[in-house]
Chains A and B, each alone.
Chain A
């Protein structure tokens, strides 16, 4: 376990040695690595984080080495979209039983399972995830994966992020470590180009990234790897030849970006594809980094033209929604990059933010929230369902934007709700996404059902009068 410990520290090294921000390195580390309080329910574990961060690599078989629990309760529950393979959505697990554990059969079972996947599915690679039980009984998945890699001539990648080592956030980072150690840089691309980029921490939920990619295509910028959203193993393996990178969900992959910069000299920035100015800013910075790395300077000019065209179009399209949404009050209960990027996007269409949560957000994310909102008391940490319920009522929210687990809290408060987390069914990224977001908020707020939900039953009304 000591080596795992060292690796965890390393994963957080990023946060501890950061240059900006008002707090010291220790505080920064505490902030992200802090254990969760017993007796509460906050969120996933490191295993969950690692799986979430890697599973959208679509032509890979993701094998969960565990008793049934970790996979049986959770398989196929993310809304990332694939433009081809469906293998990533198939659930593979070793389903360890008591006999396997007591008799020490688990490593052999894992090796056999890898063979069964290879024979039955011929995947581009197999990712093997350790979990609480297999880590505690001391299974050495690194060795098993190494042997399998050699024997089957197939990349078999160990992902060491058992649940108990920490938070979901840590799991994201450990997933990045696994990619760095075993995947990225193992394949040389045929024709590296001067305008190749990586997008890190973009999950392509409901196909969101596909709304952004045509913009990059127009600029002649090639996405060598979008990790993990709709990625192929080959893309990830050759990502080290890109010229620049953007991290979308920094919480997940900023450490990966930093290390790729150190190792292969790939400059990166943290950005977002939510909101109009967010998207424009991201395009500009991509162009800027590429030009600095040797791309044709005309890219900058072409980007400005594209941004101007697209912005003009999208503002025009949004005009229809503005009068219906201006001044409406939104409470956001989400995490990471969305804490500020969605806030910014909503303010662009004239909505009022009455609160945003910063759970799982990095300190940079938190800083950005503060800069955007300019008011401290609108920012809250993760809270219990009851507190959230009260906050919605106190601040007279018109709508809550959050993930599935808290949606029913808004509904019980008789408030409209819109999913902006992994189960959402609409794509909100890019200029296109902004129109869709406005439309969905409009539909949610103005549904004729709400008055009925809110008014008491007619006989109760009569009593009141």
Chain B
């Protein structure tokens, strides 16, 4: 055995030792009825072919490796952006365990969500009792200022009425009558986490705004960031820019502090978030800006209904999109864009010019949430790259149209293809048949990276296998710089790997690039 106290091998190298190699090989022979190596490699080659691609894309009943999560996850994330708010998911326990793990693994922070623990009884008789007991327990145990209720498929299939249930629970004294319990119906068999986000933010606004008339409009801008795995870095960066512009603004749903608590010996179940008073006051704002269209369709309609002006962006990244954002803010606030920001913009453009030769003509595959894919494709085209494959498992035909419009606006989008509703296994075929230089997406892309040899730039949500990316902004000119660097690093690292063989490929192993 190769272990010793002086040199205890980690399991990764340990199982590479010959004893273990042999043991594992024997298992294959004894229990797998293995095919000959030739058959396996023929089959592997077949999965790279156009023929397989056609079969793969024709799949109808089966989703393989999805790039979306469900509505309640979005609702839970949304609730985390409000002051001392406990997420309460009306359904069985398992779903909540998944949301907690998902958020925890991405943000490297604890994530508190409770469940109404529905079981078979609830499925038959309805979940009212679970709501009554659950709200009471949550209120008692976790001392929240607000409990945000969303649903799982189960509660939706049996048709539990949240509004009625919450009223009943209040009548039975689960929580005080005037305690805030906003809610959203979030069935997972409709849409994805971006819709759940939308419903929950709207639910919170309705809870505080319904039945209240707008007094005079104040010159404040509400900003709704949308479901954003990089909210920690992004929200702080945006606040910095807005402060530089001296704009009156209010973030509605800000999870940046909740998912980035300092290590100072205190355990914060809740941190940061938009305060209840601010949400109330936000009714009087003149404008509501959403940074992501698909995350806030219903919410923005509601804002317009109450009399606010509202508009949305597609997750603004890069030069043009940031320009657009700042100019809209400048226009509606009447504040000028200060010199400091102008300089930042100049620096990003300078950096893009410095590196343009390395980026021009590079081909990309981008996947993720609809707004992000849109934003990323736009930024890629700014750098002279071609977004060859744009894929969103939760993309709709409306998204497809918007993407096509965007791609048609630049010569670099000429050969681009848009793939709404497709999964990562479909992307695998796309990458084999029409290869690209870089893949942009979340951690799940690492299998595509391995299978197809396409280097992966990790962005968006979830990122489980790398640390701290979400602490840095992607938005604003500073964010653009970080985005640019991430892409360039990947290109150079890859180039080094390919050219590092001494005397064979190192004619391009350059010190200066």
Contacts and interface: CB of A to CB of B under 8 A. Distances in A.
Contacts of B97: 41, 43-45, 48, 405
Chain B interface size band reads 35 or more
Given A68-B188, A95-B66, A166-B119, A41 B110 contact: no
Nearest to B267: A389
A444 to B, nearest CB: 14
A348 interface: no
Contact of B63 (A38, A92, A115): A92
A38 B62 contact: no
A411 B267 CA distance: 9
Given A117-B62, A412-B110, A69 B20 contact: no
Nearest to B141: A384
A46 B118 CA distance: 12
B62 A83 contact: no
B263 A412 contact: yes
Interface in B50-66: 55-56, 59-66
Q: Which of B19, B119, B268 has the most CB of A within 10 A?
A: B119
A94 B62 CA distance: 5
Given A76-B444, A210-B20, A435-B5, A37 B123 contact: no
A59 B263 contact: no
Interface string A388-415: 0100000000000000111011011110
Contact of B32 (A48, A59, A112, A432): A59
Q: Which of B24, B71, B119, B267 has the most CB of A within 10 A?
A: B267
A234 interface: yes
Contacts of B199: none
Contact of B189 (A77, A133, A405): A133
A91 to B, nearest CB: 5
Chain A interface size band reads 35 or more
Interface string A15-43: 00000000000000000000111111111
Contacts of B367: none
B99 A73 contact: yes
Contacts of B444: 76
B142 interface: yes
B10 A426 contact: yes
B189 A96 contact: yes
Contact of A68 (B34, B63, B265, B268): B63
A92 B65 CA distance: 7
A357 to B, nearest CB: 16
A41 B119 contact: no
A164 B61 contact: no
- The 5 A-B pairs with the shortest beta carbon distances in the complex, nearest first, are A45-B94, A39-B137, A38-B134, A69-B188, A112-B61
Interface of B: 1, 3-6, 8, 10-11, 14-15, 19-20, 23-24, 27-28, 31-34, 55-56, 59-66, 68-73, 88, 91-102, 104-105, 108-120, 122-124, 129-131, 133-138, 141-142, 152-154, 157-158, 187-190, 192, 261, 263, 265-269, 425, 444, 447
15 contacts: A38-B137, A39-B116, A68-B192, A69-B189, A74-B98, A90-B65, A132-B152, A132-B157, A210-B20, A214-B20, A232-B31, A232-B32, A234-B32, A316-B5, A386-B269
